[in-house]
């Protein structure tokens, strides 16, 4: 994957939705198309992808871990940090609001096209999820993969294996710290 040019994809995002309480659905915003160029061109970024918003490991460890380490990663030469999931924009926005995410930008890959082009689309039908992303993380430098991590045992076999070993903020910090030396 190192050296791979990021595929050209359009993401359907929602901006400006709001509600008066957490018990109401956020509405009133508008659809904004964002491309991979918008997210990756001219920047050095981290992208991590995970099976789904509101799922246990994603919500309790991975996304909050990157949020906690945001400033440290920026100090190590990262311009932006993105979390991508095969979820729609409404779900990704609600998830960020629920977890009070302020720094990490969430990318909704509702159709799974970006995930498919990255070779990480797997079947989670056994959990009722349909097609989802295998957990991976990359440093993308101006649209080119500089460094790649993915969890072991990529599966479509119906197992419930969902490792979280390789795609941690700590592994990213270690790589970036060693790269600065």
Query: Which residues are known catalytic residues?
Result: 58
Tell me the CB-side half-sphere exposure of residue 163, using CA atoms within 13 A.
11
What's the CA gap between 83 and 42, in Å, rounded?
18
Indicate if the alpha-carbon torsion angle 53, 97, 69, 57 is positive or negative. Answer: negative
Which string of DSSP letters, residue by residue, matches 143-159? Answer: TEEEEEEE-SS---SS-
Tell me the CB-side half-sphere exposure of residue 137, using CA atoms within 13 A.
20
Distance set, CA 70 to CA 79, 87, 151 (Å):
10, 23, 21
DSSP state of 102: -
DSSP state of 27: B
**Tokens, residue 100:** 């009070």
């Amino acid at each position: 994957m190192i050296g791979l040019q990021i595929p050209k994809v359009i993401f359907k995002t929602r901006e400006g939705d709001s509600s008066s309480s957490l018990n109401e659905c956020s509405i009133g915003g508008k659809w904004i198309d964002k491309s991979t160029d918008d997210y990756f061109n001219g920047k050095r970024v981290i992208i991590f992808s995970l099976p789904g918003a509101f799922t246990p490991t994603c919500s309790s460890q991975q996304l909050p871990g990157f949020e906690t380490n945001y400033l440290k990663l920026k100090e190590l030469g990262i311009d932006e940090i993105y979390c991508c999931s095969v979820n729609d924009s409404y779900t990704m926005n609600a998830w960020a609001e629920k977890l009070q995410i302020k720094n990490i930008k969430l990318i909704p890959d509702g159709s799974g096209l970006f995930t498919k082009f990255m070779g990480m689309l797997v079947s989670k039908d056994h959990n009722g999820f349909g097609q989802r992303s295998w957990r991976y993380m990359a440093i993308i430098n101006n649209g080119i993969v500089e460094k790649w991590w993915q969890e072991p045992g990529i599966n479509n076999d119906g197992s419930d294996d969902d490792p979280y070993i390789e795609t941690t903020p700590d592994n990213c910090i270690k790589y970036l710290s060693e790269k600065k030396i």
